[in-house]
Chain A
């Protein structure tokens, strides 16, 4: 139906000029200027089916001072273009493209011409490319013209771009090189080549790169390679890769193979070496073998070399690798064995069996493991001391696993020596951290020397970028080992040092535990910061659909039910807890073994020598209600994460006993709270004065 209407409109458009009458804009166009959005929206919808005759009148609206009208007009034009671009709408497409082309006229506002270029990119064809290409020379519209020609997939668009190369600005010329390379317009090669000697270096380079992307070899250009290689060899060598892949696309695999091989022989960095090996592997080139074997000892490339050799379908790989084994150094022997095992080579089993007697421990370790057998502890330990870094790391991982098993089997002394062996090796911090964690678990005074050395190195100037995990592990080991030394006073002093100086919460927590083991009241640190450390908890009470907020499970305005709470069939009793963490966050999830959609009450007795104005600083997850001496003083109904000191509640402690009661709500996931007492000026009150130890 709409097609008939469109043909009618088209015919009308043809005859009206002949009759000397001005074409009336389609009625809906007026709707685009309506102040009412629903009318504008209807007009936008109508545009699509009206098509070409509506383009010019709508385009007139693009110059409107009203942003809403401009937006409606833009949407309407986009609808027309989308509609005319339907797969079965060729006549409409041509007509709309022609109308859009008319909008490129210099008499039109720049914004209108820009919009037309963008739309022509979606619908234009060979009939429009010359008009578009002419704008490549207009600085204000050149980028949009290039983009439009980039999108138009016809040969004519590429020809127009090539034709413009000589007449545009140097800046635009570079853009044309890029566009032609992307379009794989090989007809551009002859036109681009002269720019390899351009006075502007960037033009020369971009010409080179475009030619490489079009499949020209960088060493087969009408300029000597030195012209580029001397200036930026890495950039020059990258051209080989582009050219090689372009040649694969063109079916010239032999050319591509030679380029990859050139790159493999003269790489400028690990990226290009890996890329060259991957390219040779993609082509299953026999040239891969020698090049890849040459990279087995390069830390950043060796895995690519091993992977490509392990998976390539190239005749003779197995034999070549086998032949190389006797001549290779231990690290390379290991890699070669891994390759043969991955390839399931016919001789792999026999070779591996023989290699179990290799003079090098790292080779013996690999041979045993590739055969599915366990290497000896001594071989692993020797490998830790002297081997390629990657084999050393592997041995460390295996040795750590064994040390944990030994510790769990009860042989702490042997485990200690194994952990120390790893901690003494040159390894990445994550592995050393695991070793120090093991030393911390064992906690033997025999490890004093090694942990003292590591601890001292943490504060050395060059260790400023130690990972937190490594530093925490060393600090835990330090606390644990010192706590085990026979001089109790010295032990306590050293463990306190961690609590007082460490920035690692995990290490502080660990050291606090060690202080407890030494019989020290570990709450002192939290208390000095004003945290309430001793609580009694009761619950968990139900909190389905957030029902607990505002609901009483006992009368909070009365003294606490010290004997517990009876609700329907359930009996709830108080339990006392003590929290020495800094900050002293009570983990209710841990105290009540999980729990969702529940709540608990936490009560603390605070004894004040005199009436004192204080502030409670609270953090709760999720919401809370708070009472002091049976009077509600605070509430926060919504769920939230726990942030220490998030809420401030000003209060007065009366002389004698005071009861702080907090109902902590729980919806899902994390659940906890903490509370601090500070003076009016915000300075912490040592809660040892309010909650004296028994």
Chain B
């Protein structure tokens, strides 16, 4: 099959602007009683969100932001219609997120596109003056994560990454328990996850369905023909698109582990990843995977095992090994589970009292108003994603990486450093 013209790069900014202006004639999203009256809500009282990517997780987030959502955007017309149906009210809709970013009536964007879009869209949103709630993982490369963080800081934007484990009661309980030294020093955290699946049919490659703009779905990702087996949802099982479970659930589990052990500003010194590449089917993420993250200060090892040793009945989770015993945390995303004894623990008044998030979305909306940093600020999101991305690089080059935490580069390994960045296709760069 021949390679089609790159529509994304073919579209000029001028033609884009022309369409934007036309689009601006659509419904304006105005908060209630914009001018404000005594006894009535005042102007700008509500954060209006624009939703980029409204399939799957995007639909869930539409529910979460149901009272804020003012615009929806998706490259799949079916997703877009489903989102409008869900909202049940007039809302601006578009296919190209740049049109949404051009709207002055949108305060913040909610990004729930496939992983390969997160970096570009977050950077563009910050440059357009929008705050951002972006699904995890923050990035697919370390350079992308750095660009997201730098842009957020340069423009003073609030960026929350959707590793919502930090906003759950049980993760908070675990964090409180561990940070108050109830297990003593932690020497090892063993994360487990079921193996990645194999499958996908390479022969399904063909023309994309009429409702889907395939070129725009791919965006910055390297061109390939449409195949439903790596499009919606299933992109997770391609190394360069979703990166497998370590970038999916790993971004959840590592987030909670980092938080519980106060490691948000600490990187491992060495990372070793091994895995079994599938030799059948379309997908290319390793089926089994073992990763060891070695920290020097504190002296600690975090491991990721697929399948690893299960600590509870959950598909994934982490076991904290301490001087005085173990703590099992099942899950790590919106569902975190610890034992009742951990939940019941109350720290002393002068002990460590970690921030208790009122809910991941609520925390984000609060921060949009207060301009404080959210519980899963982009800096932490980037650093969590860096663990996943380092594991990916180590697996791909097949050797242990020594990591320079200051410069976020790999020591004395030029090839590995080439993988810190992935060139974007067409006009899609960070």
Interface residue? A625 (CB, 8 A): no
B215-228 near A? 1/0 per residue, CB < 8 Å: 00000001100000
A428 and B396 within 8 A (CB): no
Among A153, A182, A429, A467, point to the contact of B414 (Cβ < 8 A): A153
Q: A75-B277, A465-B67 are in contact. Are A171 and B6 (CB under 8 A)?
A: yes
Asked if B419 is at the interface (CB within 8 A of a chain A CB), the reply is yes
Q: Mark B31-50, 1 if CB is under 8 A from A, else 0.
A: 11100111111111110000
CB < 8 Å neighbour of A44 from B3, B203, B277, B412: B277
- Counting CB contacts under 8 A, is A174 at the interface? yes
Which residues of B from 367 to 422 have beta carbons under 8 Å from A?
370-371, 396-399, 412-419, 421
Closest to B420 in A: A151
Distance between Cα atoms of A182 and B420 in the complex (Å): 13
Q: Which of chain B's residues have a CB closer than 8 A to the CB of A271?
A: 126-130, 155, 157
B207 is an interface residue with CB less than 8 A from chain A: no
A275 and B13 contacting across the interface, CB-CB below 8 Å: no
Tell me whether A143 and B421 are in contact (CB under 8 A). Answer: no
User: A428 vs B36: C-alpha distance in the bound complex, in angstroms?
Assistant: 10
A469 to B2, CA, bound (A): 54
Cβ–Cβ < 8 Å partners of B89 in chain A: 464-465
B407 CB, nearest partner CB in chain A, Å: 13
Among A83-91, A341-349, A358-366, A475-483, the one that faces the other chain is A83-91
Q: Which of B3, B17, B39, B104 contacts A453 (CB 8 A)?
A: B39
Closest-by-CB residue of B relative to A93 is B415
Contact B156 A75 (CB under 8 A): no
Stretch at the interface among A197-205, A310-318, A616-624, A655-663: A197-205
User: Is A201 a contact partner of B14 (Cβ separation < 8 A)?
Assistant: yes
- Are A426 and B40 in contact, CB atoms less than 8 angstroms apart? yes
Output the least CB separation between B358 and chain A (Å). 12
- Hey, which chain A residues are within 8 Å of B419, CB to CB? 122
**Known A71-B280, A121-B418; contact A274-B398, beta-carbon cutoff 8 A:** no
Specify the chain B residue showing the minimal Cβ separation from A271: B129
Q: Tell me whether A462 and B33 are in contact in the complex, defined as CB-CB below 8 angstroms, given that A71-B280, A175-B426 are known contacts.
A: yes
Which B residues touch A299, using CB under 8 A? 44
Q: Which residues of B contact A121 (CB under 8 A)?
A: 418, 423
Closest to A141 in B: B3
- The answer to whether A275 touches B10 (Cβ under 8 A) is no
User: 1/0 contact trace for B9-41 toward A, CB 8 Å?
Assistant: 110111001000000000000011100111111
Do A462 and B36 touch (CB < 8 A)?
Answer: no
From 133 to 156 in chain B, residues with beta carbon under 8 angstroms from any chain A beta carbon are 153-156
Q: What CA separation (Å) do A679 and B51 show in the bound complex?
A: 43
Given A41-B279, A450-B39, are A202 and B13 also a contact pair (CB < 8 Å)?
A: yes
Chain A binding surface, main DSSP class: helix
A463, CB-defined interface residue at 8 Å: yes
Q: How far is the CB of B100 from chain A (nearest CB, A)?
A: 15
Q: Mark A405-427, 1 if CB is under 8 A from B, else 0.
A: 00000000000000000011111
- Contact between B31 and A465 (Cβ–Cβ < 8 Å)? yes
Residue interface bits B272-291, CB-to-A below 8 A is 1, else 0:
00000111111010000000
CB < 8 Å: which of B39, B282, B418 contacts A423?
A: B39
Alpha-carbon distance A44/B46, docked complex (angstroms): 57
Whether B155 lies near A274 (C-beta < 8 A) is: yes
Q: Which residue of B lies closest to A231 (CB)?
A: B14
Interface residues of A in 138-158 (CB under 8 A from B): 139-140, 143-144, 146-147, 150-153
Report A324-344 CB contacts with B as 1/0, cut-off 8 Å.
000000000000000000000
Instruction: Please name the residue on chain A nearest to B14 by beta carbon.
Output: A201
Residues of B within 8 A of A48 (CB): 398
* Contact B3–A427 (Cβ < 8 Å): no
Output the nearest chain A residue to B201 by Cβ-Cβ distance: A67
Docked-complex contact B38 and A201, CB < 8 angstroms = no
Q: State A596–B341 Cα separation when bound (angstroms).
A: 14
Q: Are B156 and A274 in contact (CB-based, < 8 A)?
A: yes
Cross-chain contact A426 with B14 (CB below 8 angstroms): no
**Nearest residue in B to A422 (C-beta to C-beta)?**
B39
> Which residues of A lie under 8 Å from residue B46 when comparing CB positions?
428-429, 465, 467
Q: Is the CB of B41 within 8 A of A470?
A: yes
The interface bits of chain A over 204-215 (1 if a CB of B lies within 8 angstroms of the residue's CB, else 0) are 011000000000
Closest-by-CB residue of A relative to B44 is A299
B41 contacts A232, CB within 8 Å?
no
- Report yes or no: B279 in contact with A424, Cβ–Cβ below 8 A: no
B129 surroundings in chain A (CB, below 8 A) = 269-272, 274
| Closest partner residue, chain B, to A389 (CB atom) | B42
Cα A560 to Cα B322 in complex, Å, equals 52
Specify the chain A residue showing the minimal Cβ separation from B35: A426
A153 to B417, CA, bound (A): 10
- Contacting residue for B9 out of A40, A72, A171, A426, CB 8 A: A171
Using a CB-CB cutoff of 8 Å, which residues 307-329 of chain B contact chain A?
none
Query: What CA separation (Å) do A211 and B419 show in the bound complex?
Result: 26
Which single member of B126, B203, B412, B418 contacts A151 (CB below 8 Å)?
Answer: B418
Interface residues of A in 427-472 (CB under 8 A from B): 427-430, 432, 450, 453-454, 457, 462-470
B298 within 8 A of A: no
B112-137 interface (Cβ within 8 A of A)? 126-130
CB-based contact B414/A87 at 8 Å: yes
Cβ of B42 and Cβ of A428 under 8 Å apart? yes
Given A175-B426, A465-B31: A278 in contact with B421 (beta carbons within 8 A): no
For the complex formed, measure the closest distance between the CB of A307 and the CB atoms of chain B, giving whole angstroms.
7
A87 and B413 form a contact (CB under 8 A): yes
Q: Which residue of B lies closest to A278 (CB)?
A: B156
Q: Are B414 and A468 in contact (CB under 8 A)?
A: no
Q: Are A78 and B396 in contact (CB under 8 A)?
A: yes
30 pairs from A and B in contact (CB 8 Å cutoff): A41-B279, A48-B398, A71-B278, A71-B281, A75-B277, A78-B396, A79-B398, A82-B397, A87-B413, A143-B223, A150-B421, A152-B418, A171-B426, A174-B427, A178-B427, A245-B154, A271-B130, A275-B156, A278-B153, A303-B371, A389-B42, A426-B41, A427-B41, A427-B42, A465-B31, A465-B32, A465-B46, A465-B89, A466-B41, A596-B340
Known: A238-B127, A470-B41. 13 other contacts (CB 8 A): A86-B399, A153-B418, A171-B6, A178-B429, A179-B423, A201-B13, A202-B13, A270-B129, A275-B156, A303-B371, A427-B45, A463-B32, A464-B32
Q: Which 7 A-B pairs have the closest CB atoms?
A: A271-B129, A85-B415, A428-B45, A150-B423, A147-B423, A202-B12, A274-B156
Chain A residues proximal to chain B, CB less than 8 Å: 37, 40-41, 44, 48, 67-68, 71-72, 75, 78-79, 82-83, 85-87, 118, 121-123, 139-140, 143-144, 146-147, 150-153, 171, 174-175, 178-179, 182, 200-202, 205-206, 232, 235, 238, 241, 245, 269-272, 274-275, 277-279, 299, 303-304, 307, 389, 423-430, 432, 450, 453-454, 457, 462-470, 596
Chain B residues close to A by CB (< 8 Å)? 2-3, 6, 9-10, 12-14, 17, 31-33, 36-46, 67, 89, 104, 126-130, 153-157, 202-203, 222-223, 277-282, 284, 340, 370-371, 396-399, 412-419, 421, 423-427, 429
